[in-house]
Amino acid sequence: MARTSEEKSETRATDSSIAGLQRNVFALGWVSFFGGLSQDMILPVLPLFLASTLGLSKEFIGLIEGIVSTTVSALKILAGYASDRAGSRKGLVLLGYLLSAVSRPVLALVGSGSGALGLRFADGVGKGVKDAPRDALIAGSSQLGKMGLSFGYHRMLDTFGSVAGPLVTFGLLALLTIGSPGQAYRLIFLLAGIPAFVAVLIVAAFVRERAAPGERRPGLSLSALRGQFAVFLAIMLIFTLGNSSDAFLILRAQNVGVAVMAIPLVYALFNLFYAALSLPAGHLSDRIGRRKVIVAGWLVYAVVYLGFGLADSAWQIWPLYALYGLYYATTEGVAKAMVADLVEPAQRGTAYGLFNASIGVMALPASVVAGLLWDRVSPAAPFIFGSAIAGLAVILLLALRPRQASSATQGA
């Protein structure tokens, strides 16, 4: 497919180069590193804090995480559209990171389920506001022919931040031997604010607004929601129904005997595999097609969730989390590439917003269902359910025949 002049303007270099990458791309990679470091200092112990320190039920934890995921996805559409209409990205990116930087350390002061819900909601708003404009900044700042390199670099640093975060938390838990676990969790939340504010400072000081000359400001339209893209979205909705919050994986790890001290290490192992395998998986999808790689990832997911359902010993959680990193590596970036394959270039902004929303729409019921199954059936039930839903999604995706109308779609 020939590039339009608008596409070319989106990828024209406007910033100075650092280490072979445009300035904005380089800076935003480190923004995501520190943002991910902050986020993943908190995530390994947050479900334990909610369940043991605040005494919340699994159903309420599922409700909190489902609301956060749904909020994030819904706001990605609005923020992406708003940044397109305004022709401005940096302000929304800065606002999003600032909201997260404020809400995370304040978790140290929370004493109720409603307070935790409010702060997690604020964090979700921050993530939802920043993600689409940030990705648009990366795309608009990338040189021609280096779009994949730019996003691969960003995904790598983001995920390595998610490796470092749990390791920092593990070190803090090892050092904080005085006081209750709840006190240790609160101190971790407080310290997680430091890298979050570093991310804010990098955006403010080093990221430059990039106005695309002659950039079209489209009206809000759902015209992209048709054809194979619509079918792919429907399949993603089905898959996500069985893909509950990762908080349940942490709770399951504790349930089968993984020590609280070891959970951050398990989480770091997951992110290490995710980071190391993302670039090879993306490159493989360019060679053999997106659909095959996603199918392989969903099959891995089905095996992992079945494993979590059947697990009865702590040692089994470690290889399952490593495989879970493989699932993420083979689906997260590759699915976004497949979206680009299935829609016209002029509709990709709307398509990505709809894609993110489709995941969020099912996040709330998926997490609520998982909580209900855990509390009312058994701790294994949510994972057996998720494995079965993933198997159904694989069958449906295999039935989706990628269009071959142009070179732009050959990767599907």
pLDDT digits (tens, 9 = 90+) for 161-170: 888 888 898 8
Q: Are residues 166 and 253 in the same domain?
A: no
Q: Report the C-alpha gap between 132 and 89 in whole angstroms.
A: 9
Instruction: Identify the CATH number of the domain in which residue 282 sits.
Output: 1.20.1250.20
- How many structural domains comprise the chain? 2
User: Are 136 and 27 a contacting pair, CB within 8 Å?
Assistant: no
> Looking at the chain, how many residues does it have?
412
Tokens of 288: 């053999």
Q: Are residues 132 and 58 in the same domain?
A: yes
Looking at residues 41-58, what average pLDDT do you find?
Answer: 85
Q: Report the C-alpha gap between 328 and 252 in whole angstroms.
A: 19
* Beta carbons within 10 angstroms of residue 402's beta carbon: 17
pLDDT in tens, 53-69: 888 888 888 888 778 87
Highest mean pLDDT (candidates 19-33, 60-74, 91-105): 91-105
Q: Report the C-alpha gap between 285 and 153 in whole angstroms.
A: 17
pLDDT in tens, 378-401: 989 999 999 999 999 999 998 876
* Beta carbons within 10 angstroms of residue 227's beta carbon: 11
Print the domain residue range for 388: 225-412
Q: Report the C-alpha gap between 185 and 75 in whole angstroms.
A: 29
Q: Are residues 247 and 333 in the same domain?
A: yes
What is the pTM for the complete model shown?
A: 0.69
Which carries the bigger pLDDT value, residue 183 or residue 6? 183
pLDDT in tens, 289-327: 778 989 999 999 999 999 999 998 899 999 999 999 999
Q: Are residues 275 and 388 in the same domain?
A: yes
Q: Report the C-alpha gap between 270 and 253 in whole angstroms.
A: 13
Q: Is 152's pLDDT higher than 70? A: no
pLDDT in tens, 350-378: 676 677 777 777 777 888 898 899 989 99
**Burial class (CB within 10 angstroms; exposed 0-12, middle 13-18, buried 19+) of 339:** buried
The predicted pLDDT at position 11 comes to: 42
- Of the pLDDT bands very low, low, confident and very high (cuts 50, 70, 90), residue 412 is very low
Q: Is 142's pLDDT higher than 70? A: no
Domain's final residue, options 209, 243, 268: 209
The predicted pLDDT at position 404 comes to: 42
**From the DSSP assignment, how many helices (H) and strands (E) are in the chain?**
15, 2
Tokens of 27: 């800076």
The predicted pLDDT at position 405 comes to: 36
- Contact partners, residue 123, CB within 8 Å, separation at least 6: 68, 99, 100, 103, 104
Q: Report the C-alpha gap between 133 and 140 in whole angstroms.
A: 10
Domain's final residue, options 183, 209, 235: 209
The predicted pLDDT at position 9 comes to: 43
Tell me the average pLDDT of the chain: 80
Tokens of 57: 């039920």
Residue 108 has what DSSP assignment? G
Q: Are residues 159 and 190 in the same domain?
A: yes
User: Are 129 and 77 a contacting pair, CB within 8 Å?
Assistant: no
